[in-house]
Chains A and B, each alone.
Chain A
């Protein structure tokens, strides 16, 4: 049908040409839209507009849903809806109709329908699914315009999951005779590649075909895909380099049809695309770079016409030359080019010149020197963007000598900048520089940081105050310097607090209160009472956040001494001890108790304490006891999210996918106390996975600046250029940056100022040796070497962990314990005692099972793990030593039953003792069982009647042997027992003991074939997944890790294929557990399956431990 129309059309152009311009005839083909627009422009207020549009939308809504509306009217309605949406009013009711229009309309209506869809919906909108069929139909249409429209909409947005449905059709279009169709098909594939690269992986050869297409337009389109692919993996496409070079040569040589010219420049888009690809290919690759030198040179020469578009190509060329392996004459030409940019009167070019300079200055600091006067001018440019870019450039060339001037310039800019994003960025940079070069300017450092804090306010990165405080507390190499620095900080804060602290940002107040709490004692003439009252003033301020208040309370806790200050602290603590904010309340209680007990305070918050290294127990084993208690109290054992999900799926057939998304999220956000029934493993798995990893936190923000950038920055700062260029800076002195610099020729005043600025900015960039001739410059002292590698700041800082947990995160248990005790009592000794208990419990007790087996009975009681007492051999003999106190393990060894002595046994550990009995135990691993051996030693003078085993004479040892099995796995199996005995006097007594065996002792290798493994894998229902760290030594990481696990845990490695390995083990004889390991992005992704609940979880915990301990 449309073909017929087309034919009629070509015959009628004369009739149609009412107007010479094709477009003008259509100016108001939709008069209703025209009316609407006119209506809006006549209105005077926003309110009226809103009313009018709402009215309009109502009318549209009514019409679109009416069955009598024709598609032609619908088209017009859609245009009006688009207009309303553009004005910012929602017209979501029309979305579905837009899809309908695209589906049912004729070609022209379809066009509007597709347009409306592409404007209304975005990629992830669910209604888009309804479009798939329409697109499919149109892709198969014989009408070229329809095919074009379908391809256009597909390259803009398409639901990811539906790509396979249309992919074959789009691929087919790559062979279409019309180049416009081929080009659009390539761009559609590019879009697919961007949203779902794996969906189009198999058609890479088609991309090559597109690259070789006879139409340059199609070839250009395919370069988008290649650029993307090369960006991800340059190695795989090195072989294409000569092809790209040839294409570029042809383009530059003007071999393309005139159609591709843009203002007489041949295919600039194509050129730029090719240059970008080449720079990716030639990066760090000398041989590949050599292939392209010639064409780059030619590009540079050809592009000398004074035109915007040639500058675009030149700019890309320069970037390319500086990215690939360097070649000196090209670099020279590129440098000249940059010079032209920088010196250009056109502001856009100047900006790009500065950008290019910033890019290359690390390689070539000379270049900055050449253009120093221009840079100085740009620094005072009225356009903030230029100014900002200049600062960026200066930031790159900062060294120890010019840092003060550069920072000063940056701070000046900060004062006038109104853009939050810039402020945050720049504040970070200033702080980075200040921390990198504190030099001898202690005052400068503190003052700079003060400005940073007051300007950066609460927007700045939270790690800036953290690292500042860390720097202050860890100190540098000299004690005296540290003291001065801290004292200066205190001195600078006191007047601030006396002034108008209400104007300071919260973050700054927090820093101030911490510093005052910690170091205000350094200033001798300052009464703590005064500091206290200053701090108390902060508490009364209306705009103080509760976070700030808790920092202030902490500081007060450190300062209060009782006596005169008591009234202030008393008042404060009373006010806040009833606060609704629990943190504040806690701090108030601390303040109250600690202020009354100086001795306790001195222990909890020692003054001048050195930062201690904090061990962070990332496996949270200190919670073991809590977990086991919870389980004993009947809580359900924790199940990892994927298992929960699986069970959920099983129980509810209706449950559809969306749950999958929400579960992991809720897990990570869930706090520790929320978990009713965690077994510790899964908790540790959640922690060591991707949520919160404390021990391995990468320090991004270090003393030397962003650590990632450290090397290049330092390089820039230290490069020595034996430069012949006259730098006024060289005559200046290293230390006194503001010293008068003699200039060659007398210059007018402002010029002289600029030169002076230049000398201070660019000092150190020129040859340093000439400076040191004058004996003033010395290599910058690296005073900021790290002293302690601790994660935290020591005890005094711990209490603030809630506030600054991102960087310094001490274990919360210590903190909480402190508070609990403070609330209960203020007995110092008890506090200490309990702390020590806690530290013990960190390493013990998480057995989830209490099996009680009384030795007095011949049968074993208890649920799981069953302690079977099968053969109770009691070997009684005279003790070899007279002194029981000297009874050592070595001699107990000799009591091991003969049949066990050949096997390896664990260390013999003392269990408990009283005046008459000494109990020790060890466990022995046999192939199919675990034997617990209990040594009962009579340490009294008299013989003891053991029930029912008989008598143990004085100083002799009785040995009991028990075979242990596990019915329900736990990380540690705890055996609890009682020894009942009778003294000769006839009194019957008992002694309780408990013994812990790690689950690993029950694990045995499980030899299976891969096939058996496969069948078993599918039949097991309980599983867990986890990422483990890989061991990276010389050999292959997977094998190394598996071997380590095999050694530590007695696993059996079934097979290793490439990056995957399968491992099997069993719990004693009968309970298998299979493990599938895969190396994935630097981690070992482990998937465990077993028929036994909890066994995978327990095992993964031990794997984790085993790898950690390496």
Chain B
């Protein structure tokens, strides 16, 4: 895989991971053009694109587009499944993930991605194992947070937990894909 982009329906970039060395200028150009191309496509259209000399595989989940660029010999369908597995991972981790979770905790989303894909190749495809690895590290964090709270006095848990979600006018629809369900993306 050459890169993975996550962007919203408004064309805002939410996550970018590049597995090939490119200059910032090129990255920006590719992102801009690709976001435009993908957003222009209609819902019932094919998830695969031939764009420049790359194969693009994209899928929309609620308000978020997941978009991967793969090489010529790579399998498009399995790339779709990579995207899907990533969504499942996010979903499990955040608990019914929505775009806002990814916006506010994008570093977490990156950690999960790194545990799932390494150097552009799927390294661990088991949901359980990926999350175990992430949670081990997180647990450490919780512990420190917890100690901090103990020593520094507690903060308001509600504020900590969600921020003020209603302030944000991004449309988000939670998706939940039980493992048995078929794989049609939920479109708003």
Distance between Cα atoms of A123 and B122 in the complex (Å): 20
Instruction: Please give me the residue from chain B that is nearest to A86 by CB atom.
Output: B13
CB of A157, distance to nearest CB on chain B (Å): 7
Distance between Cα atoms of A166 and B101 in the complex (Å): 37
A27 touches B121 (CB 8 A): no
Instruction: Please give me the residue from chain B that is nearest to A20 by CB atom.
Output: B95
Contact count band on A? 35 or more
A22 touches B136 (CB 8 A): no
A683 proximal to B (CB < 8 A): no
Contact with B77, one of A29, A262, A348, A386 (Cβ below 8 angstroms)? A348
Contacting residues, chain B, for A20 (C-beta < 8 A): 95
A1078 proximal to B (CB < 8 A): no
Contacting residues, chain B, for A115 (C-beta < 8 A): 107, 110-111, 114
| Chain A interfacial positions (CB closer than 8 Å to B) | 2, 5-6, 8-9, 12, 15-16, 18-29, 31, 33-34, 37-38, 41-42, 79, 82-83, 86-88, 90, 107-108, 111-112, 115, 118-119, 122-124, 145, 148, 152, 155-157, 180, 183-184, 187, 190-191, 217, 221, 224, 259-260, 262-263, 267-269, 272, 276, 308-309, 311-312, 315-316, 347-348, 350-352, 382-383, 385-386, 388, 419, 421-422
Instruction: Please give me the residue from chain A that is nearest to B84 by CB atom.
Output: A308
Distance between Cα atoms of A385 and B50 in the complex (Å): 8
Contacting residues, chain A, for B163 (C-beta < 8 A): 27-28, 31, 34, 38
B128 touches A156 (CB 8 A): no
Contacting residues, chain B, for A16 (C-beta < 8 A): 139, 142-143, 146
Instruction: Please give me the residue from chain A that is nearest to B93 by CB atom.
Output: A23
Chain A CB within 10 A, most for which of B19, B45, B131:
B45
Dominant SS among interface residues on chain A = helix
Distance between Cα atoms of A110 and B145 in the complex (Å): 16
Instruction: Please give me the residue from chain A that is nearest to B144 by CB atom.
Output: A108
Given contacts A124-B21, A260-B125, contact A421 B52 (CB under 8 A): yes
Contact with B137, one of A107, A190, A224, A259 (Cβ below 8 angstroms)? A107
Distance between Cα atoms of A190 and B119 in the complex (Å): 9
Distance between Cα atoms of A112 and B106 in the complex (Å): 11
Distance between Cα atoms of A781 and B18 in the complex (Å): 52
CB of A144, distance to nearest CB on chain B (Å): 8
Contact with A28, one of B42, B75, B104 (Cβ below 8 angstroms)? B104
CB of B122, distance to nearest CB on chain A (Å): 5
Chain A CB within 10 A, most for which of B16, B118, B160:
B118
Distance between Cα atoms of A23 and B141 in the complex (Å): 12
B 1-31 to A, binary, CB cutoff 8 A, 1 in contact else 0: 0000000000001111111011110001000
Contacting residues, chain A, for B170 (C-beta < 8 A): 41
Chain A CB within 10 A, most for which of B22, B85, B123:
B123
B 169-187 to A, binary, CB cutoff 8 A, 1 in contact else 0: 1100000000100010000
Question: Would you list the 8 A-B pairs with minimal beta carbon distance, nearest first?
Answer: A21-B95, A312-B77, A23-B94, A28-B163, A123-B21, A122-B21, A23-B93, A312-B78
B161 touches A224 (CB 8 A): no
A23 touches B101 (CB 8 A): yes
Distance between Cα atoms of A122 and B2 in the complex (Å): 13
A26 touches B129 (CB 8 A): no
Distance between Cα atoms of A26 and B159 in the complex (Å): 11
B77 touches A383 (CB 8 A): no
A-B CB pair tally, cutoff 8 Å: 221
8 Å CB interface, B125-141 against A: 125-126, 128-129, 131, 133, 135-141
Distance between Cα atoms of A217 and B85 in the complex (Å): 17
A263 touches B129 (CB 8 A): no
Given contacts A79-B107, A145-B140, A347-B45, contact A276 B73 (CB under 8 A): yes
Give 7 CB contacts A-B under 8 Å.
A23-B95, A88-B13, A115-B107, A122-B23, A263-B179, A272-B78, A312-B78
Instruction: Please give me the residue from chain B that is nearest to A258 by CB atom.
Output: B126
CB of B146, distance to nearest CB on chain A (Å): 6
A18 touches B157 (CB 8 A): yes
B52 touches A183 (CB 8 A): no
B78 touches A22 (CB 8 A): no
B133 touches A148 (CB 8 A): yes
Instruction: Please give me the residue from chain A that is nearest to B133 by CB atom.
Output: A180
A385 touches B48 (CB 8 A): yes
B140 touches A9 (CB 8 A): yes
Give the number of chain B interface residues (Cβ < 8 Å).
84
Contacting residues, chain A, for B73 (C-beta < 8 A): 276
Instruction: Please give me the residue from chain B that is nearest to A309 by CB atom.
Output: B81
Contacting residues, chain B, for A148 (C-beta < 8 A): 133
B 47-69 to A, binary, CB cutoff 8 A, 1 in contact else 0: 11111110000000000000000
B137 touches A155 (CB 8 A): no
A155 touches B145 (CB 8 A): no
Instruction: Please give me the residue from chain A that is nearest to B56 by CB atom.
Output: A385
Distance between Cα atoms of A16 and B141 in the complex (Å): 11
B118 touches A83 (CB 8 A): no
B144 touches A87 (CB 8 A): no
Given contacts A5-B143, A308-B77, A348-B80, contact A90 B119 (CB under 8 A): no
A145 touches B136 (CB 8 A): yes
Contacting residues, chain A, for B106 (C-beta < 8 A): 82-83, 86
CB of A53, distance to nearest CB on chain B (Å): 13
A22 touches B28 (CB 8 A): no
Contact with A383, one of B46, B129, B138 (Cβ below 8 angstroms)? B46
Instruction: Please give me the residue from chain A that is nearest to B28 by CB atom.
Output: A88
Contacting residues, chain B, for A180 (C-beta < 8 A): 124, 129, 133
Distance between Cα atoms of A12 and B122 in the complex (Å): 33
Distance between Cα atoms of A108 and B134 in the complex (Å): 12
Given contacts A24-B94, A351-B48, contact A259 B129 (CB under 8 A): yes
B168 proximal to A (CB < 8 A): yes
CB of B98, distance to nearest CB on chain A (Å): 10
B78 touches A269 (CB 8 A): yes
Distance between Cα atoms of A26 and B16 in the complex (Å): 21
Contacting residues, chain B, for A86 (C-beta < 8 A): 13-16, 106
B 89-118 to A, binary, CB cutoff 8 A, 1 in contact else 0: 000011100001101111110110011001
Chain A CB within 10 A, most for which of B44, B94, B179:
B94
Distance between Cα atoms of A24 and B77 in the complex (Å): 31
B164 proximal to A (CB < 8 A): yes
B126 touches A152 (CB 8 A): no
Chain A CB within 10 A, most for which of B14, B51, B110, B131:
B110
B107 touches A269 (CB 8 A): no
Distance between Cα atoms of A31 and B164 in the complex (Å): 11
Contacts A21-B93, A262-B125 supplied; 20 other A-B pairs, CB < 8 Å:
A22-B93, A22-B135, A27-B104, A27-B162, A28-B160, A28-B163, A38-B164, A38-B167, A108-B141, A115-B111, A123-B21, A152-B114, A183-B124, A259-B126, A262-B81, A269-B122, A348-B80, A352-B48, A385-B50, A388-B50
Distance between Cα atoms of A15 and B149 in the complex (Å): 12
B105 touches A26 (CB 8 A): yes
Contacting residues, chain B, for A184 (C-beta < 8 A): 118, 123
A9 touches B125 (CB 8 A): no
Contact with B107, one of A24, A112, A268 (Cβ below 8 angstroms)? A112
Instruction: Please give me the residue from chain B that is nearest to A180 by CB atom.
Output: B133
Distance between Cα atoms of A580 and B188 in the complex (Å): 61
Distance between Cα atoms of A42 and B170 in the complex (Å): 10
B119 touches A155 (CB 8 A): yes
Instruction: Please give me the residue from chain B that is nearest to A17 by CB atom.
Output: B142
Given contacts A27-B101, A187-B123, contact A347 B107 (CB under 8 A): no
CB of A424, distance to nearest CB on chain B (Å): 10
Contact with A190, one of B81, B121, B135 (Cβ below 8 angstroms)? B121
CB of B136, distance to nearest CB on chain A (Å): 7
Distance between Cα atoms of A569 and B15 in the complex (Å): 63
A108 touches B46 (CB 8 A): no
Instruction: Please give me the residue from chain A that is nearest to B126 by CB atom.
Output: A259
B105 touches A312 (CB 8 A): no
CB of A184, distance to nearest CB on chain B (Å): 7
Distance between Cα atoms of A8 and B37 in the complex (Å): 51
Chain B CB within 10 A, most for which of A37, A38, A145, A191:
A37
Distance between Cα atoms of A31 and B125 in the complex (Å): 33
Contacting residues, chain B, for A276 (C-beta < 8 A): 73
Contact with A386, one of B28, B46, B53 (Cβ below 8 angstroms)? B46
